[in-house]
Structure 1
């Protein structure tokens, strides 16, 4: 088995459960392909007495048949018992199998893709609640781990359950994609040696998703790997988009509509703007849909500076979705060499800038360390000013500001380039205007520090001194 990369805190949580002298019910959730199953197997492997996974869109009869077959396999039964008539009977079979083993040692039962087991009118969730409450809670040697890629379902139906599972979850883990540093470590564990710039190019396309990164081949550049994975007929990312959303959401078309709307508006949209753009109803269903996308890791909400949650701005944060919608969806060009050609087009410069900005927003912790303020309390937000009809002047937008408890605000500008970034006269005026407008509109008395986050640093010229206070480069994002 490959070594477990990152996941240090998550591993501690699972190991604590192994040392517990009480029954544990653990919920693990996160975006599809993020490595949930691998983590659970890696930590619990020697204690696992049953691993069973739901099947997407399978019928109740098929799920129960699979459950019977799995139990018969691990119990080495040559004559198969009857398929249980329902989940209550299935859990009775599980109890009979587990009880002798629980008397000897700590045992783990792992139910993977838990939401898929809850087929319509199956009674699965109520049967599971009864199974856990009437029997599981009394088994001091039992760790029951449930896992699901439908993160929003896991949170609503299990973690925040108001019925029989209310407050029954003893530990929960939301597994996030790899950071840049973890991505580098993961690639190196697979003998893929790439410079940081090349790793960022890969991250722009597939994010920190282990299942995608696993397909990166050693000895090939980022462009060559992207070409193979996204544009050849057998590339795993060529047709992943629809499969990804359809497997997670019952009304996937609505979720995809929101993702496309946000992709078309990089500066982000408010809830009201999303509803208008996608033709959604303004009730709780829209809120639930947005929550589902957030919990599954596809979009992120940001509270604007000096605003509250009602003014949230939503942005697309899934790297693969952004890349797919720009370069794969409805693009006629396919086959080897496609990406090598597309990546030289003018659209690449603006797209890569947006992609890099999104990556930076996921590495605020690393940015704070580079600024020497990791120990300072901060609040991160975005800010935008749109002049009213009666106002003169241009608007301004800040995609990351770090409001610090030491009476300073770090205004971050993120720029992606293949060499040192050069500030020219026009851009220096734009930056100064942005700082001035922010100070005027917010009336802040805090000191403003302009932070440039770039790939290879900001070139020393006549426009940098006195304007740029902090210079953060790729190496800082990988720490």
Structure 2
């Protein structure tokens, strides 16, 4: 058909690129090189603030955080924000109203992208909505044996930008380990699965407001926002991206020779520096407790002798005078720093 119509162009676009790769790019029936492979990520936080327009300078960082906790850096969601209103009012209108944009979005996403297989994908993201999980734990949740089918489901969700597979690594050579955890990186999905889906009937009857326990997911949501804005962290730490060997959430399994340890986000550079970043959400100012927790992690982390370690704190609502005067953290980064 194309041979007889040389001026005909076929343009394929999709959120799940794995289908295109399997059925088009890897097919012997289609010839030609890829002109451009473009992966659209969420907008950086400093660009997202432009959606507040004239209210940008007069909106508290915590108010913005609450919005980002349900939208992430997705422009289409941010377009729905009424910037003259508070975060609470926006969340009520978008998520807890039967006509709310975010109330209806979840089913559209999964029916459009995954069609008849959508239920399997939903089971996986529901599991991850409550915290990180290993691939083995996903097999258990699906009540299935280890097969390539489940691995493909996970790969599709990664390709669609909904989840991330975070590999830990060997500090000695900077190479990825076989050990990894799956993380729900899409803030909207967690918001929907934790608070909208269980209350759909009440929302449809307009008999529910914004749940008070909504703040319970802000820790995980804040972590996602930080990990999605790594370039800003590099700049704030005065790091050259070309000198970064690997950066990711890091965990060390307990063995006879070493203790277990988990770092929210760690950066390893070519000059044998390790930046251990504690990503901490709190409604109140952080005190000396967060320093003691990091001291424990520094003591547990097993590293080669020639490596140096630096502690970094990334927070939301400030720190106490005691913590500031302790001068323990090499760098203290506030959420506001990520917005500029």
TM-score calculated relative to the size of structure 1: 0.63
Of 298, 310, 315, which residue of structure 2 is paired with 1:449? 310
Residue of structure 2 equivalent to 1:287 = 151
Of 186, 209, 215, which residue of structure 1 is paired with 2:74? 209
Instruction: Kindly indicate whether the alpha-carbon contact (under 8 Å) linking 2:55 and 2:84 is maintained by their aligned counterparts in 1.
Output: no
User: Are 1:414 and 2:279 matched, yes or no?
Assistant: yes
Q: 1:203 to 1:323 in 2, by over 3 A?
A: same
Structure 2 distance, partners of 1:281, 1:288, is: 14
Alpha-carbon offset, residue 317 of structure 1: 0.5
Of 220, 226, 239, which residue of structure 2 is paired with 1:354? 220
SS at match of 1:176: coil
Alpha-carbon offset, residue 169 of structure 1: 2.6
Q: 1:191 to 1:352 in 2, by over 3 A?
A: closer
Residue of structure 1 equivalent to 2:28 = 163
Structure 2 distance, partners of 1:275, 1:409, is: 34
Residue of structure 2 equivalent to 1:298 = 162
CA RMSD of aligned residues (A): 2.9
Residue of structure 2 equivalent to 1:273 = 137
Instruction: Kindly indicate whether the alpha-carbon contact (under 8 Å) linking 2:49 and 2:56 is maintained by their aligned counterparts in 1.
Output: no
Of 325, 328, 338, which residue of structure 1 is paired with 2:196? 328
Residue of structure 2 equivalent to 1:436 = 299
Residue of structure 2 equivalent to 1:475 = 336
Structure 2 distance, partners of 1:408, 1:392, is: 20
Range with greater deviation from structure 2 (314-323 or 196-205): 196-205
Of 365, 372, 375, which residue of structure 1 is paired with 2:238? 372
User: Are 1:230 and 2:91 matched, yes or no?
Assistant: no
Question: Quick one: higher RCO (CA 8 Å, sep 6+), 1 or 2?
Answer: 2
Per-residue CA deviation, residues 291-332 of structure 1 (Å, 9 max, x unaligned), is 100010110111102163632321111111101111112136
Alpha-carbon offset, residue 464 of structure 1: 5.7
Instruction: Kindly indicate whether the alpha-carbon contact (under 8 Å) linking 1:366 and 1:478 is maintained by their aligned counterparts in 2.
Output: no
SS at match of 1:285: helix
Q: 1:189 to 1:336 in 2, by over 3 A?
A: farther
Of 167, 173, 179, which residue of structure 2 is paired with 1:311? 179
SS at match of 1:330: helix
SS at match of 1:245: helix
SS at match of 1:403: strand
Of 250, 253, 260, which residue of structure 2 is paired with 1:383? 250
Structure 2 distance, partners of 1:444, 1:290, is: 37
Return 5+ residue gaps in structure 1 as ranges. 1-87, 89-130
User: Are 1:153 and 2:19 matched, yes or no?
Assistant: yes
Structure 2 distance, partners of 1:192, 1:337, is: 32
Residue of structure 2 equivalent to 1:338 = 209
Instruction: Kindly indicate whether the alpha-carbon contact (under 8 Å) linking 2:42 and 2:228 is maintained by their aligned counterparts in 1.
Output: no
- Within-5 A mapping of 1:124-143: 131=2, 136=6
Q: 1:191 to 1:312 in 2, by over 3 A?
A: closer
Alpha-carbon offset, residue 418 of structure 1: 4.3
SS at match of 1:175: coil
Q: 1:414 to 1:164 in 2, by over 3 A?
A: same
Residue of structure 1 equivalent to 2:120 = 254
Q: 1:193 to 1:466 in 2, by over 3 A?
A: closer
Runs of 4+ off more than 6 Å = 189-193, 390-393
Of 217, 242, 248, which residue of structure 1 is paired with 2:107? 242
Structure 1 distance, partners of 2:181, 2:223, is: 16
User: Are 1:199 and 2:64 matched, yes or no?
Assistant: yes
Per-residue CA deviation, residues 201-254 of structure 1 (Å, 9 max, x unaligned), is 111101222222222113201111011110012111113222211211131111
Alpha-carbon offset, residue 411 of structure 1: 0.4
- Within-5 A mapping of 1:116-131: 131=2
Alpha-carbon offset, residue 428 of structure 1: 2.8
Alpha-carbon offset, residue 256 of structure 1: 0.8
Alpha-carbon offset, residue 349 of structure 1: 4.2
- Within-5 A mapping of 1:45-194: 88=1, 131=2, 136=6, 145-158=11-24, 160-188=25-53, 194=59
Return 5+ residue gaps in structure 2 as ranges. none
Q: 1:442 to 1:273 in 2, by over 3 A?
A: farther
Instruction: Kindly indicate whether the alpha-carbon contact (under 8 Å) linking 1:382 and 1:398 is maintained by their aligned counterparts in 2.
Output: yes
Alpha-carbon offset, residue 383 of structure 1: 2.2
